Amino acid sequence: MYLTKEVKADIFKKHGGKAENTGSTEGQVALFTHRINHLTGHLKNNRKDYNTERSLVRLVGKRRSLLDYLKKKDVVRYRELIKELNIRK
Protein backbone atom coordinates (compact mmCIF):
# COMPACT_ATOMS: atom_id res chain seq x y z
CA MET A 1 0.00 0.00 0.00
CA TYR A 2 1.35 3.39 -0.94
CA LEU A 3 -0.02 5.32 2.05
CA THR A 4 0.85 3.72 5.38
CA LYS A 5 0.10 5.14 8.81
CA GLU A 6 3.69 6.27 9.17
CA VAL A 7 3.71 8.15 5.87
CA LYS A 8 0.42 9.82 6.67
CA ALA A 9 1.59 10.80 10.16
CA ASP A 10 4.82 12.16 8.68
CA ILE A 11 2.89 14.31 6.18
CA PHE A 12 0.72 15.81 8.91
CA LYS A 13 3.72 16.27 11.21
CA LYS A 14 5.62 18.16 8.54
CA HIS A 15 2.77 20.34 7.28
CA GLY A 16 0.18 20.37 10.06
CA GLY A 17 2.41 20.91 13.07
CA LYS A 18 1.66 17.63 14.87
CA ALA A 19 0.90 14.13 13.64
CA GLU A 20 -2.48 14.30 15.40
CA ASN A 21 -3.44 17.59 13.70
CA THR A 22 -5.24 15.96 10.78
CA GLY A 23 -7.73 18.79 10.38
CA SER A 24 -5.25 21.49 9.44
CA THR A 25 -5.68 22.92 5.98
CA GLU A 26 -1.99 22.65 5.15
CA GLY A 27 -1.88 19.00 6.22
CA GLN A 28 -4.93 18.11 4.16
CA VAL A 29 -3.55 19.87 1.08
CA ALA A 30 -0.24 18.03 1.50
CA LEU A 31 -2.05 14.69 1.82
CA PHE A 32 -4.16 15.42 -1.26
CA THR A 33 -1.00 16.37 -3.16
CA HIS A 34 0.63 13.07 -2.18
CA ARG A 35 -2.44 11.15 -3.36
CA ILE A 36 -2.67 13.19 -6.59
CA ASN A 37 0.96 12.44 -7.41
CA HIS A 38 0.37 8.72 -6.81
CA LEU A 39 -2.76 8.64 -8.99
CA THR A 40 -1.00 10.58 -11.75
CA GLY A 41 1.74 7.96 -11.86
CA HIS A 42 -0.88 5.21 -11.96
CA LEU A 43 -2.70 6.87 -14.85
CA LYS A 44 0.50 7.15 -16.87
CA ASN A 45 0.67 3.35 -16.91
CA ASN A 46 -3.09 2.67 -17.09
CA ARG A 47 -4.51 5.36 -19.33
CA LYS A 48 -7.93 3.72 -19.73
CA ASP A 49 -8.65 3.56 -16.01
CA TYR A 50 -11.53 6.03 -16.06
CA ASN A 51 -12.58 5.49 -12.45
CA THR A 52 -9.16 6.55 -11.24
CA GLU A 53 -9.25 9.50 -13.62
CA ARG A 54 -12.56 10.62 -12.11
CA SER A 55 -11.15 10.24 -8.59
CA LEU A 56 -8.14 12.31 -9.58
CA VAL A 57 -10.32 15.12 -10.91
CA ARG A 58 -12.36 15.12 -7.69
CA LEU A 59 -9.20 15.24 -5.57
CA VAL A 60 -7.82 18.15 -7.56
CA GLY A 61 -11.11 19.99 -7.02
CA LYS A 62 -11.02 19.36 -3.27
CA ARG A 63 -7.43 20.55 -3.07
CA ARG A 64 -8.28 23.64 -5.10
CA SER A 65 -11.15 24.57 -2.78
CA LEU A 66 -8.93 24.12 0.29
CA LEU A 67 -6.24 26.27 -1.32
CA ASP A 68 -8.82 28.95 -2.13
CA TYR A 69 -9.95 28.90 1.50
CA LEU A 70 -6.36 29.20 2.75
CA LYS A 71 -5.67 32.04 0.32
CA LYS A 72 -8.71 33.90 1.60
CA LYS A 73 -7.75 33.40 5.27
CA ASP A 74 -3.96 33.83 5.20
CA VAL A 75 -2.16 34.59 1.95
CA VAL A 76 1.32 34.21 3.47
CA ARG A 77 0.68 30.60 4.56
CA TYR A 78 -0.87 29.96 1.13
CA ARG A 79 2.25 31.16 -0.70
CA GLU A 80 4.57 29.16 1.57
CA LEU A 81 2.54 26.00 1.02
CA ILE A 82 2.43 26.47 -2.75
CA LYS A 83 6.19 26.92 -2.85
CA GLU A 84 6.89 23.99 -0.53
CA LEU A 85 4.67 21.50 -2.38
CA ASN A 86 5.60 22.77 -5.88
CA ILE A 87 1.99 23.36 -6.88
CA ARG A 88 1.59 25.70 -9.77
CA LYS A 89 -1.06 28.40 -9.76
Q: What are 70-79's pLDDT values in tens digits?
A: 999 999 999 9
Q: What are 12-52's pLDDT values in tens digits?
A: 999 988 888 889 999 999 999 999 999 999 999 999 999 99
The predicted model scores a pTM of 0.92
User: 73: which residues sit within 8 A by CB, 6+ positions away?
Assistant: 25
How many angstroms separate the CA atoms of 46 and 6, rounded?
27
Q: Are 51 and 42 in contact (CB under 8 A)?
A: no
Judged against a pLDDT cut of 70, whether residue 89 lies above it is answered with no
Could you give all domains of the chain from N- to C-terminal order, each with its CATH number?
Answer: 5-85 (1.10.287.10)
